[in-house]
């Protein structure tokens, strides 16, 4: 199960829980009806829109679900990019907050390193372009070449 699968299941559950109420209102009025309902709830119960009892109930239900089924992320077998979560491919932070995909961490590190190198290259080409300007002792042809090299590199970066 990937993250997008988990999200889809979440929305299926959400619609099953709330869709019927929303379906009672005409389509073009659903959003307005929901806003009015939430405004009324906020007036009654404060910023959460839920009574203290309801909050307790939801928290207890969430804890019970966690104890029964484990954490929803534990069901995921692949990272959002599709790498498999194996013992060798999992990185856990010192705080042990969930799993990180080692392949993705490596990819990200490489990408950042690459971006830094490319940025440095573009900066060097820019300096070379300035140096090739006729005002600084270069020629028009050399400046045009240097400018083209700089713009191409900057566009690609």
83 near Zn ion, rule: CB under 5 A: yes
89 near Zn ion, rule: CB under 5 A: no
* Cβ distance to Zn ion smaller for residue 104 or 118: 104
| Stretch of 62-70, 95-103, 112-120, 132-140 lying at the interface with Zn ion (CB under 5 A) | 95-103
Return the H-helix or E-strand segment holding 89: none
Provide the total of helices (H) and of strands (E) in the chain, helices listed first.
5, 2
79 near Zn ion, rule: CB under 5 A: yes
Min dist. Cβ of residue 108 to Zn ion (A): 9
Cβ–Cβ under 8 Å, residues 26 and 18: no
Closest CA to 73 of 96, 104, 56: 96
Instruction: Please identify which residue in 1, 22, 37, 103 interacts with Zn ion, judged by CB under 5 A.
Output: 103
Instruction: Please identify which residue in 1, 50, 90, 104 interacts with Zn ion, judged by CB under 5 A.
Output: 104
Min dist. Cβ of residue 42 to Zn ion (A): 40
102: how many CB neighbours lie within 10 A of its CB?
16
Half-sphere exposure at residue 124, Cβ-oriented, CA atoms within 13 angstroms: 6
């Amino acid at each position: 199960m990937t993250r997008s699968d988990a999200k889809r299941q979440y929305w299926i559950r959400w619609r099953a829980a709330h869709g019927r109420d929303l379906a009672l209102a005409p389509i073009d009025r659903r959003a307005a009806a929901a806003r009015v309902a939430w405004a009324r709830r906020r007036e009654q119960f404060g910023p959460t829109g839920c009574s203290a009892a309801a909050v307790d109930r939801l928290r207890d239900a969430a804890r019970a679900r966690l104890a029964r089924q484990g954490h929803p992320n534990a069901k995921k077998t692949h990272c959002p990019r599709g790498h498999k979560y194996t013992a060798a491919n999992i990185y856990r932070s010192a705080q042990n907050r969930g799993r990180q995909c080692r392949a993705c961490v490596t990819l990200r590190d490489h990408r950042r390193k690459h971006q830094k190198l490319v940025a440095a290259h573009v900066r060097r080409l820019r300096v070379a372009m300035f140096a090739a300007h006729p005002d600084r002792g270069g020629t028009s042809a050399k400046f045009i070449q240097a400018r083209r090299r700089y713009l191409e590199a900057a566009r690609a970066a």
